Chains A and B, each alone.
Chain A
């Protein structure tokens, strides 16, 4: 075996500890960078999850159980900010995108490997600045940093916001890198319409990352200026308008919802075809609907401000545009379901998470329509209904799909198989726990329990306790998953190159784990990515 054919994990085998360490922390290899992202973002998920458990446990009774209201405000802010900026946004593009995308299009690496490593370190630097913020006073604004409160509170808004600003650039550069990679580095024969749908999804996400994230950057920079110089953009006393902050914030943060969910759609398209052993139904529709969603998502931000004093026609327009987003989303769900029809389904852990995704995401998506319609939103706005809705989309959708993806590509990442029984057990805890936690919150919200409050009226106690129990069930599921993944990565059975019989290049054309240069022979593509039934 020549030096070039060593697998990427063993590239520095037999070298000193220092060299092996440097082989990880200053690597340009997209697979190793993907692994760095995977470990970093899953750790963030655990940290954000601990905060979630603290919140739910404190809400066991309406009284103070463990900590006071101020601490509570800080904890729900950190839960939100960490889950959004440390976990959901970077997780799938950073970890699975980096690892899989070049392999899937038959490239040797991303277009700009140095920039790729730089993006990762921007993320880490942003996190460190956030940590400094937590230690130097915390933050209690909620993850949305709304003015005027964020311009006045004495907590460390500047450190939090600067960290997010820097992480924003990590996101922009990752998106830029992937877009160039997809345009320029496809293997011979890999036409656009032969690209795996995961690549389409990451491409659409990248488009959003490049175009939308700078607006968040400038908004947060203005917030810092508001706090340091008092520029007054968001301060009515100086002629400014606090709602302008909301407009800017959601101009980014609504597309950001698609930065979070589109990559999940990509994963589902891969896993569902593999485990149903069937060609995807409606390839073109799914591919174009990703781009369609990315475009429509720029014109709906106003639906977050129905109650902030928008003019009635702006409300009506944003509401109508929001209804449009349901169309590409529904196209995807219908196509995935149609893919299952008459497939020979294998119920691996990856498939269970995939099916779980279909169910919970459908609920999450449909409840979004209640919030997109003005009249019902007036009732649900700022209640637990909203909390339940976006957790169905972000946890039931993105996080569930991420787990599907992690289990699916685990053999490719590590060259080892995970424990199937523990994997499936983790799914049932996660899935049941999730629905117990958040379905109750739909009911609570519809009954009028406001979000972000430290206390609630005694009538809500039973449902709150059920929700808290659900949160602990999720924790058990995640604990089982992580133990499984860590132990299997070290001791699992050796994985074959293509344990699931997939048809995409990362399975068919390279070993598990792949060699450092990805392919022994540069792949030449002469068929689509999902030609099941033909061999």
Chain B
């Protein structure tokens, strides 16, 4: 199976029936991948729900240490990035590659801004000693088995950390599709790569939309 040669000659690999058939198959595969991602985070959400139920007072107290404003700012960044991502896909499909590249680059920048804000949040927590589990050392509010402050921060770091890894992964994918557009591998005819990175990016946003309220607001 020489994939590259097939694409050059026919426009799609030959084990598919048509270009559309290939696109649909890849899209279905991408959705399954997203299901997998949801299950990956699902375990952590269950752990959060369980410990929040066991230690409601503790969690209410601990969440005051998170900066709502920074969290909200990050939410805004990701929401706008969703929009620019959609525009990036739409312009790619209409063969307006200049605008597509601009929007994809904006998405990349917003993702970067999200990570910068996260960096400040994390370093502030680390500085104060609000660290997960055994590393927790915030003297004003010690963690005990009955009042496990540290558990809240374990969940916070594990969940936002895993999400952060996904954001960085998204940034790498964005660079990759911009490169593909540049060298002409992704075109208005074959725009699958952009579409699928878009799907992934929306999932990353969606997970943040759940993370933000449970950690910063509700509890």
* Residues from 11 to 50 in B contacting A, C-beta threshold 8 Å: 14-16, 21, 24-26, 28-29, 32-33, 35-37, 39-44, 47, 50
B35-A229 in contact (CB<8A)? no
Indicate whether A315 reaches chain B with its CB closer than 8 angstroms.
no
What 0/1 readout, one digit per residue, does chain B (102-117) give for beta carbons within 8 Å of chain A? Answer: 0000000000000000
Is B81 positioned at the interface, with any CB of A under 8 Å from its CB?
A: no
Contact of A113 among B1, B25, B36, B50 (CB under 8 A): B1
Stretch at the interface among A71-79, A207-215, A285-293, A374-382: A207-215
The answer to whether A238 and B40 have CB atoms under 8 Å apart is no
B151 adjacent to chain A (CB < 8 Å): yes
Q: Are B32 and A210 in contact (CB under 8 A)?
A: yes
Query: What separation, in Å, do the CA atoms of A176 and B40 have in the docked complex?
Result: 15
Given contacts A229-B134, A231-B133, contact A107 B35 (CB under 8 A): no
Are A230 and B134 in contact (CB-based, < 8 A)? yes
- Report the bound CA distance from A361 to B58 in whole Å: 50
What is the chain B residue whose CB lies nearest that of A209? B36
B28 and A184 within 8 A (CB): yes
Q: Mark A460-480, 1 if CB is under 8 A from B, else 0.
A: 000000000000000000000
What is the CB-to-nearest-CB distance from A213 to chain B, in angstroms, rounded to a whole number? Answer: 8
A176 and B36: CB pair below 8 A? Answer: yes
Q: Is B145 within 8 A of A212, CB to CB? A: no
Task: Tell yes or no: A28 within 8 A of B by CB.
Answer: yes
When the two chains form their complex, are residues B1 and A215 in contact, meaning their CB atoms are under 8 A apart? no
Contact of B39 among A215, A236, A239 (CB under 8 A): A215
Task: Please judge, given known A-B contacts A107-B15, A217-B40, A232-B148, whether A238 and B133 are in contact too, CB under 8 Å.
Answer: yes
Provide the main secondary structure of the chain A interface: helix
Nearest Cβ on chain B to A245's Cβ, whole angstroms: 10
Contact B154 A231 (CB under 8 A): yes
Does A256 sit within 8 A of B, measured CB to CB? no
How many residue pairs link A and B with beta carbons under 8 A? The number is 125
Q: Cβ of B15 and Cβ of A108 under 8 Å apart?
A: yes
Query: Is the pair A214, B36 in contact by a Cβ cutoff of 8 Å?
Result: yes
Q: Which of A421-456 contact B (CB under 8 A)?
A: none
Binds B, one of A87-95, A156-164, A218-226, A325-333: A218-226
- Is B21 in contact with A240, judged by CB distance below 8 angstroms? no
Complex contacts, B143 vs chain A, CB 8 Å? 238-239
Residue of A nearest to B132 (CB): A231
**Interface status of B135 (Cβ within 8 A of chain A):** yes
Is A299 close to B, CB under 8 A?
no
| Proximity string of chain B (130-149) to chain A, C-beta cutoff 8 Å, 1 when within and 0 when not | 00111100000001111110
The answer to whether B5 has its CB under 8 Å from any CB of chain A is: no
Give complex CA distance A215, B37 in Å. Answer: 10
Residues of A176-210 contacting chain B, CB below 8 A: 176-177, 179-180, 183-185, 210
Least Cβ distance of A216 to chain B in Å?
A: 9
Q: Given A222-B158, A232-B154, decide whether A214 and B32 contact each other with a Cβ distance below 8 A.
A: no
Give the distance to chain A from B151, nearest Cβ to Cβ, in Å: 5
| B39 A238 Cβ-Cβ under 8 A | no
Residue numbers in B under 8 Å from A509 (CB-CB): none
Most buried by A among B29, B42, B132, B158: B29
Chain A contacts of B26 at CB under 8 A? 112
Is A114 part of the binding interface, using a Cβ–Cβ cutoff of 8 Å? Answer: yes
Contact of B148 among A28, A217, A229, A238 (CB under 8 A): A238
Q: A residues within 8 A CB of B37?
A: 214
Residue B55 CB within 8 A of the other chain = yes
Which residue of A180, A210, A231, A241 is within 8 Å of B158 (Cβ)?
A231
Point out the residues of chain A lying under 8 angstroms from B7, CB to CB.
Answer: none
Known: A108-B15, A111-B29. A210 touches B151 (CB 8 A): no
List A contacts of B135 (CB < 8 A).
Answer: 229-230
Please give, as numbers and ranges, the residues of chain B lying within 8 Å of A215 by CB-CB distance: 39-40, 42-43
Cβ contact within 8 Å between B40 and A185: no
Q: CB of B209 within 8 A of chain A? A: no
B contact residues around A29 at 8 Å (CB): 1
The reply to whether A180 and B134 contact each other, CB–CB distance below 8 Å, is no
Asked whether any CB of chain B lies closer than 8 Å to the CB of A235, the reply is: yes
Given the contacts A113-B1, A218-B40, A218-B43, A230 and B133 also touching, CB distance less than 8 Å? yes
Task: Please tell me if B3 contacts chain A, counting CB pairs below 8 Å.
Answer: yes
Beyond A29-B1, A217-B40, A248-B43, whether A236 also contacts B35 by CB under 8 A is no
Query: What residues on A are CB-neighbors of B32 within 8 Å?
Result: 176, 179-180, 210
Give the distance to chain A from B69, nearest Cβ to Cβ, in Å.
Answer: 27
25 contacts between A and B (CB under 8 A): A108-B15, A113-B3, A113-B15, A176-B36, A177-B29, A210-B32, A214-B39, A218-B40, A218-B43, A225-B158, A229-B132, A231-B132, A231-B133, A231-B154, A232-B148, A232-B154, A233-B47, A236-B145, A238-B133, A238-B150, A238-B154, A239-B58, A239-B147, A239-B150, A241-B50
Binding site for B on A (CB under 8 A): 28-29, 107-109, 111-114, 172, 176-177, 179-180, 183-185, 210-215, 217-219, 222, 225-226, 229-233, 235-241, 244, 248, 251
CB-CB nearest 4 A-B residue pairs:
A239-B148, A230-B134, A232-B133, A214-B39
- 12 extra interface residue pairs, beta carbon distance < 8 Å, beyond A222-B43, A233-B47: A113-B1, A184-B25, A214-B42, A218-B41, A225-B132, A226-B133, A231-B132, A231-B154, A238-B151, A239-B147, A239-B151, A244-B47
